[in-house]
Amino acid sequence: RMSRHAQKLKDHDINPCVAETDATTKCMNDNNYKKDMCSDYFLKYKNCRKFWHGIMMQRRRNGVKPEMPSADERKKILESMG
């Protein structure tokens, strides 16, 4: 049974960067935990977090609830950006 924190990390509505998290973890597993082999994955994860954090802060300032868009809503936001 997963901890509540682990469940949140896997919940696409809460964590917009599940795919990046999983890819980073897989890379680390495949490369014997040599971080330098996975720097691209870490960068993608960091950029994902930074992007959605910005969206979340903007929504918080504008009083939009929930602050983190749902998985469907995020897909539409990304599609609208091309």
The pTM of this model reads 0.83
Total of domains in the chain: 1
- Residue 9 belongs to domain spanning: 4-81
- Cα separation, 22 vs 57, in Å, equals 25
> For residue 16, is the peptide bond before it cis, meaning its omega torsion is within 30 degrees of 0?
no
pLDDT digits (tens, 9 = 90+) for 21-78: 999 999 999 999 999 999 999 999 999 999 999 999 999 999 999 999 999 999 999 9
